[in-house]
Structure formats: structure tokens, C-alpha cells
Amino acid sequence: MQHQALYNEAFGDAEIEFLATQAISETQQPRFAEGKPADVLDNSGAQQIPLDSLVSDGELVELTPLLDAPSYDDPEVTVRETLRDGVLESGMFNGEFYVLNYVYSAWTIWYNAKLFRDKGWTAPATWDEMLALCEDIKAEGIAPWTYAGKHPVYLYDWFLMLAGRHGGVEVVRAIDHLEPDAWRHDSVRAAAEAMYGLWESGYILEGTPGIDHIQSQTAFNEDRAAFIPCGSWLPNEQSAIAPEDFEYMPIGVPYLEGSVQPGLISAGGEEPFVVPKNATNLAGAAEYLRIMLSAEGSQIFGDTVQATTVVKGVVLDNPAAKATDALVADPENLFQPRFRFWYKTMDDEVRAALGALMSGESTPDELIERMQTVADETAADDNIEKFTHDE
Amino acid sequence: MRHGKYPFILSFLALPVGLYAWLVILPFAQAFQISLTDWSGSSNQFNYIGLDNYVNLFKDENLVMPAIRHTAIIVVALPVITIALGLFFAFMLNIGGRSRQGRIEGVRGARFHKIVYFFPQVLSVAIVGILWQQVYAPQNFGGLITGTLDLFGLPAPVNGFLADKRFVLVSVIAVLVWSSVGFYLVFFSSAMASIPRDLYEAGIIDGAGRIQTFFKITLPLLWDSVQTAWIYLSIVALDVFVLVYMMTPDRGGPDSASEVVGGVIWKYAFNNGEQAFASALGVVLFFAALTLAVVSLRFGRREQIEY
């Protein structure tokens, strides 16, 4: 909202109508259908309008001109050059840039540094170290892992990064590109077996498949479980809830033995801002985004919500944010698996399949065959628009 | 006055009928139209693709077919169980007590029971959902039923009832029954109150027991009410969505084990951006509801008894 103040400093007589709502699809979809959408829309949260359908319906403005425009602070530098590496990827649909993901976040595994220090544990780097530590953790009466069982989507990046680290980014890219037998790759199988192994060994907090994200995060805050997979926003979200001395620290997914790309991490933009093609004030919309991407605009955001934006050089002074920054330092290792956002049926399927795998309802082989089937069906369906990562 | 009767009546009807046509009939008609297109819901462009959506509906083994099967189960189970329980409780509270000095009464504390049974009816569905979510929770997270079962050394699903494929649908139906039985108890009670007492007295004199009284006198005379209740409950059953949305993993899980038609319509319309496909399913649901109402009215028709 302070962004609007910045906008008004530049355009004194502009009146901005602002609506904050979670019910985005319910309130905004009819406006698209009517042809009178908002100028700028942060299409985020559980009730977002599916981006793939907005793009394939041609309802959005291609934002490359914004990227090539001079940045707000320095006319010599383009907007594109002020952004972090790898953040545009998630807004790309077949090489065209439609969605500006404003907030920078990474999917990591969290642990309580205070608890680990007190017990003399070291945060594991490899899967085997993690398994060895699980025994110690269990011996202390703490469950090694928990996750939001009711929303198995929290397992998605964990699983794909485990596979990607093992076999290299090509493995997960092949999955996104619906390549034949992509799911049957040995690394995917290894990842599925490793995660299934956690269930088999009883390393998951009992009852986890039946709890939601709030319950699992609360259990984690209470040190009932040692690890939880989540995005980098978690410490800020929990800052008012977690105990005073709780120290959120992130690690990348512990990698399997023989991993060829152990630093691979799923990171990129979140909070998708879009400009509808039928917006009344297209120029104003682009200018608003340009102001958001200015140094001042993104620092305001960072200070308010303690989260980094996609703009380089936002300084945050909390240890968790710094540790996350270190994990995403190497641009070669940044990759966001996208098929979940591109193909809705695969999204439904992968969540159900991962949920079943981690509660012992199905085996790794069943998961792989199930996902391969839906991937093949998606690839064969001419009515579904296909997307690729651009290289 | 006789002269201007129709214009007079019409002037009163025009507004409500107009509103009804505009806000109810028209959207229904539009759903039919939309179901023949490929409209995503977030554009004003679409093409007509004939009956493709309807054909594809029945090929969708991931969401639509499980949803149809589950909804069918609910449509059968919910009215049967609710009406049976409602009738039983109403009978016990009004007529089922011991007759003292020839007076026909309910069991002791009937008024109190009536109020208690009605409680769930005044709770909003959202609260009911949250409440029962906790009741069904895993034992490790304070689940009431799992905890109780464990206390008696009985086996309980380790992840709670809602995360277990075998129990999730039954659990949802149980909540539906729990929350509607109170209303039908009161509904049947008031209907029973209008049955003349002398019929019962005559029955008792002829030596009829409680069970005979119920099946020979009460039930036949309540037939109209039962029929009404049946239609209402069937419609509720076809519509059931909020509880599934609120309580179950991934809104219809685990792994589609509690998917219902209403929920799938919502998923396609707002999550998947396939408004047209959702409309086609909506049209199917509309006809299912219509058929159900017509059938139960036709075949449930009995001879009217004047009393």
C-alpha cells in the first residue's frame, strides 16, 4: 500500500482503487469474463485464477516491454538487470513473459537451530546423515519429520529436488516437459523410495497425514518434530506464534548418495502480479509495477514483511533470510519445477500420489506408474496447451 | 374491481417474477449454454464444441466418476438414516413412553431432549466442520474418537478418520446425519402432534405394542412428511460440499476418496479454469435432482387419509 503512495508521488492526481481479498477467483474472474478487469492483479493464494488458462485465453499483457524499460532508479539500467537470477522463469509461458512474481522464495527444509544446539546435533547435508540423525532424534522422543498431510503439495518440491539433486536438473526438467519415461528415471525412483523409506522407518510424526499446515507447523514449533518442509516465508509467518527462543534455520533437501547436483534448489518468484489485456489503464499498470520494482519499493516491502523481493540488493537482517540467501547463491542451481502450475490434472494427481506414498498407502512403483500415466495422457491430449522451460 | 383484476395481480407479480427470471432462471439457462462451449471462465471468448464436455465427464476417472459414485452413496444413505433416526426419536419423545392412566406421552425428559437434539441445527456448517475435524483428528493431535477408542484398547486409524480412505466418506455422512437429525426430529414431532390421540388409544385397547403402533398408525399417517423430508434430504445430499471442502485432506481426498459432485464442480470452475466442463457437470446434477424429486413424488404417492 505504500507502493501506492510512491505511485501517487509520481502521479499526484491518480486515484487508486484497492481491494485486498483472498477470494480472487470469485471476485475477479467475473470481471475478466465481462472484459473489465482490474489494472493490476496480485493473483495469489489458494483461490487464484489459474494462470495457465488466463495465458492461453490471451487475457494477459506480455510484460517484456516492462523488463526492457529503464529502471525507476537508474535510467542507464533496465528493469531486467535489477532482478535476481532465475526469477523471470516462473512468469514465462513459452518464451513470453506474462507474470511478474514479486516475492522471492525458496523451498527448504526447516529445523530449530536452538534445539539442535542443545542436543548437540548437526544439521545434515546428505540423506544418509539425515537418516543417522533420525535415530538420535527418535531416541529423544521427538519425531524426525512432520508435514502438512492434508495438503500434500508441501511434499512436491521436496520430492522433486531430491530427484533433481540426484540425477541433475535435466531429470526434473524432463518431467516438466512431459518426456516419455521421465518419471521412470532412476533418480525419480530413488527419490520416491527414499521418501517412502521415511514412512517405513517410522520417522514421520504419527498422525501427520491427517493434519493441516497449521497443525504441522504448530507441532514443529513445539519441537514435536525436528524437520518440516516449507517455503522460505515460514519464519516470518511463525514469528508471532513460535516460542521466543525458537531459531528457524533452513537447509536444502538432504541429498542422496551419488547426487550429481547436490546444490539444486527450488527457488524463484511467488505472488504473481499480472496486467490484464483489457485493463483500462495499461500504462499506469506497467508504471505501478516499475515502481514496485524500484529499490525503494522493494525495500519497503522487505522491511514490512521480512521477505525478499525479486529485486537484487534488498537487505534483510535476520539469520534465516541470510541462510536462505546463501542456499540460492548459485544461479546454476536454481530451478522451479513447473508442471504443477502448467497442467492442473497433473497437479491433482501428484498431490494425491505423494500423499498416498508418504502415508504408506501406495508404493514408490505405484507412484511412478501413476504419474507416468497422467503425464503421457497430458502429452497426448491436443486440447491442453503445452509449455516448456526456455533454455 | 372485477374488471381490472388481472392487471392488478400482474402488477404485483411482475417484480418478483422478473427478479426470479433474471437471477435464477437465466443463470440456469446460461449454464446449459455454457456447457456446450469450451469457456474457461476468465475470458469473453469461447467456441461451441457440442456435447464433448458431457462425453468427457464420464471418462474422468480421477474426479468426476468417484464424485458421482460417492454422491450416489450419500443420496441413498443420508435420507434413509436421517429419516429413520428422526422418526425413531420423534416417536420416542412423543408417543413412545409408557402410557400412564391411559394418557399417551413421550419418554421422560422429552422436552429437554428435543432442545438438545436441535442444537446442531443452529450451528453454522463452518463451525460443524471445524468441530468434527477435531473430533476425527489423529490421536496424536487430540482426536476425540481415536483417543476414546485407544482408551478402551480398540484399534483406531492412526492418521485419524478423515485421512483414511476407508473411513472418510462414512465420517462425512455421519456428520451430515448428526447435523440434520435434530431438525427432522422436530419436524416429525410437530406432524405427530396432529395425529388424533384416539387413534392411538384405540390401538392400545386392541393390544398394539409400541412397534405395532409405530408401523400401523404413526408411519402411514406421517407419509406426506416423510416424503417431504426425503426430497429435502436428497437435495442436501446432492449438494453436499462444504463439509468435504472444510474437513477432508485436499478438499475431497485422501486420493479422491471423499470427492463429491458439488466439490468437483467447484474444482473445475475455479481451480482448473474449466467453467464449461463444470457447467456440464452442473447440468447433469440439475437433472439428477429433478429426476429424484419427480420420482419420489410419483412413486411415493399414497391414498390420502382424512382425519
- Among A289, A310, A286, A299, residue whose Cα is nearest residue A101: A310
Q: Which of B:147-176 have CB within 8 Å of A?
A: 158-165
Residue of B nearest to A354 (CA): B255
Please judge whether B159 and A53 are an interchain contact, meaning their C-beta atoms are less than 8 angstroms apart: no
If one compares B128 and A390, the residue with the highest pLDDT of the two is B128
Kindly state whether B274 is in contact with chain A, defined as any CB-CB distance less than 8 angstroms: yes
The predicted pLDDT at position A315 comes to: 75
C-alpha grid cell, residue A2: 505504500
Establish if A218 belongs to a structural domain.
Answer: no
Please judge whether A56 and B40 are an interchain contact, meaning their C-beta atoms are less than 8 angstroms apart: yes
Establish if A234 belongs to a structural domain.
Answer: no
- pLDDT tens for each residue of A62-92: 998 888 888 888 888 888 888 887 788 888 8
* Contacts A344 to B, Cβ<8 Å: 271-273
Establish if A117 belongs to a structural domain.
Answer: no
- Among B232, B228, B213, residue whose Cα is nearest residue B94: B213
Please judge whether B250 and A25 are an interchain contact, meaning their C-beta atoms are less than 8 angstroms apart: no
Mean pLDDT, chain A, integer: 88
- What domain range includes position A21? 2-105+266-321
- pLDDT tens for each residue of B38-50: 888 777 778 888 8
Residues 6+ apart with CB under 8 A from B202: none
As for how many domains chain A has, the answer is 1
The predicted pLDDT at position B2 comes to: 62
Please judge whether A52 and B159 are an interchain contact, meaning their C-beta atoms are less than 8 angstroms apart: no
Task: Quote the percentage of chain A above a pLDDT of 90.
Answer: 43
Rounded distance, CA A31 to CA A59, Å?
11
Establish if A112 belongs to a structural domain.
Answer: no
Cis peptide before B155 (omega within 30 of 0): no
Q: Which of A:48-107 have CB within 8 Å of B?
A: 49-50, 52-54, 56-59
Kindly state whether B139 is in contact with chain A, defined as any CB-CB distance less than 8 angstroms: yes
Rounded distance, CA B205 to CA B208, Å?
7
Residue of A nearest to B39 (CA): A57
Which of A151, A345, A361 is the closest to B255 by Cβ?
A361
B69 CB neighbour count, 10 Å cutoff: 14
The distance of Cα B37 from the centroid of its chain, to the nearest Å, equals 31
Instruction: For domain B46-299, give the fold.
Output: MetI-like fold (1.10.3720)
Indicate yes or no: pTM above 0.90: no
pLDDT bucket at B296, cuts 50 / 70 / 90? confident
A258 CB neighbour count, 10 Å cutoff: 10
Establish if A12 belongs to a structural domain.
Answer: yes
The predicted pLDDT at position A175 comes to: 95
The single-letter code of the amino acid at A113 is: A
- pLDDT tens for each residue of A11-50: 777 777 787 777 777 788 878 877 888 888 888 776 778 8
Residue range A377-390: mean pLDDT, rounded: 85
Q: Provide the residue ranges of all domains of chain B, joining segments of one domain with +.
A: 46-299
Angle at the Cα of B222 from the Cα atoms of B219 and B223, rounded to 5 degrees: 85
**Residue B100 clears pLDDT 80, i.e. is over it:** no
Residues 6+ apart with CB under 8 A from A166: A187, A190, A191, A255, A256, A258, A259, A260
**Residue B305 clears pLDDT 70, i.e. is over it:** no
Closest Cα in chain A, distance from residue B179 (Å): 23
If one compares B153 and B77, the residue with the highest pLDDT of the two is B77
**Residue A240 clears pLDDT 60, i.e. is over it:** yes
Radius of gyration of chain B (CA): 24
To the nearest 10 degrees (0 to 180), the angle between helices B223-239 and B168-193 is 150
Establish if A313 belongs to a structural domain.
Answer: yes
The predicted pLDDT at position B21 comes to: 92
Kindly state whether A27 is in contact with chain B, defined as any CB-CB distance less than 8 angstroms: no
Q: What is the largest CA-CA distance in chain B?
A: 81
The reply to whether ipTM tops 0.90 is no
Task: Return phi, psi of residue B7, to 5°.
Answer: -55, -35
In order of B169, B252, B253, the CA distances from A348 in angstroms are 19, 11, 10
Establish if A37 belongs to a structural domain.
Answer: yes
Which of A26, A53, A374 is the closest to B273 by Cβ?
A53
CATH number for A294: 3.40.190.10
If one compares B307 and A308, the residue with the highest pLDDT of the two is A308
